[in-house]
Amino acid sequence: MPASKTPIYSALAANLAIAITKFIAAGVTGSSAMVSEGIHSLVDTLNEILLLLGIARSKKPADTKRPFGYGKEQYFWAFIVSILIFGVGGGVSFYEGITHLQHPEPIQKPFWNYIVLGVAFCFDGLSFITALREFNRQRGNKPFWSAVKGSKDPSTFVVLFEDASDLLGLIVAFLGVFLGHQFNNPYFDGGASIIIGLILTGVSIVLARESRSLLMGESVEPATLNQIIALTERDNAVTSVIQSPSMYLSPDEVLVLLVIDFQDALSTSEINQAINRIRATVQQQFPIVKQVFIEPGIPSIQ
- Backbone dihedral region of 118: left (phi > 0), alpha (psi from -120 to 50 degrees) or beta? alpha
Q: Does 264 reside within a domain?
A: yes
> Cβ neighbours of residue 96 under 8 Å, at least 6 residues apart?
32, 33, 35, 36, 39, 190, 193
DSSP state of 240: E
DSSP 31: -
Number of domains in the chain: 2
Distances (CA, A) of 261 to 109, 164, 231, 302: 76, 50, 14, 16
For residue 274, the model assigns a pLDDT of 95
Q: Return per-residue pLDDT of the chain as tens, 302 residues.
A: 455 688 888 889 888 888 888 888 888 777 776 777 778 788 888 889 999 999 999 989 989 999 999 999 999 999 999 898 888 888 888 988 898 899 887 777 778 878 888 988 998 899 899 889 988 888 888 888 888 888 888 888 888 998 898 899 889 989 998 998 888 888 998 899 899 899 989 999 999 999 999 999 899 999 999 999 999 999 999 999 999 999 999 988 999 999 999 999 999 999 999 999 999 999 999 999 999 999 999 887 65
Predicted confidence at residue 1, as pLDDT, reads: 47
Does some domain include residue 23?
yes
Q: Tell me: the pLDDT tens digits for 192-224?
A: 989 989 998 999 999 999 999 999 989 999 999
Choose one of 187, 216, 245: the last residue of a domain: 216
| Residue 173 domain boundaries | 6-216
User: Do 181 and 262 fall within a single domain?
Assistant: no
Determine the pLDDT at residue 301.
62
Read off the pLDDT of residues 35-67 as tens digits, 9 standing for 90 and up: 777 787 888 888 899 999 999 999 899 899 999
Cα distance between residue 276 and residue 99, in whole Å: 66
Angle between helices 73-84 and 154-182 (to 10 degrees): 10
- Determine phi and psi for 62, rounding to 5 degrees: -65, 150
Pairing of strands 253-262, 246-250: antiparallel
pLDDT of residue 4: 63
Nearest-angstrom CA–CA distance, 161 and 48 = 12
Euclidean distance between CA atoms 163 and 169, whole angstroms: 10
Domain co-membership, 180 together with 282 = no
Phi/psi at 253 (5° precision): -145, 125
In this structure, the answer to whether residues 187 and 74 fall within a common structural domain is yes
Closest CA to 207 of 87, 85, 82: 82
* Same-domain check for residues 168 and 19: yes
CATH no. for residue 280? 3.30.70.1350
pLDDT for res 279: 96
- What rounded mean pLDDT belongs to the chain? 88
* Residue 176, domain member (yes or no): yes
Of 28, 4, 38, give the one whose Cα is nearest residue 170: 38
Q: Does residue 301 sit within a domain?
A: no
Closest CA to 224 of 249, 244, 251: 244
In a domain, 302, yes or no: no
Residues 30 and 122 in one domain: yes
Question: Does 255 share its domain with 194?
Answer: no
Domain boundary among 216, 232, 251: 216
Which residue type is seen at 158? V
230 and 160 within one domain:
no
Does residue 1 fall inside a structural domain?
Answer: no
Give the integer Cα–Cα distance in Å for 158 and 161.
5
Residues 288 and 153 occupy one common structural domain: no
Q: Which residues pair with 247 in a beta bridge?
A: 255
Claim to verify: residue 174 and residue 73 sit in the same structural domain: yes
Do 85 and 176 lie in one domain? The reply is: yes
Q: Are residues 48 and 67 in the same domain?
A: yes
Q: In angstroms, rounded to a whole number, what is the distance separating the alpha carbons of residues 104 and 283?
A: 64
Q: Do 209 and 182 have their domain in common?
A: yes
Tell me the three-class secondary structure of 117-159, residue by residue: HHHHHHHHHHHHHHHHHHHHHHHCCCCHHHHHHHCCCHHHHHH
Q: What is the pLDDT, as a whole number, of residue 91?
A: 86
CA distance 87 to 244: 39
Of the three residues 216, 251, 267, the one that is the final residue of a domain is: 216
Per the domain annotation, does 123 fall within a domain? yes
CATH code at position 114: 1.20.1510.10
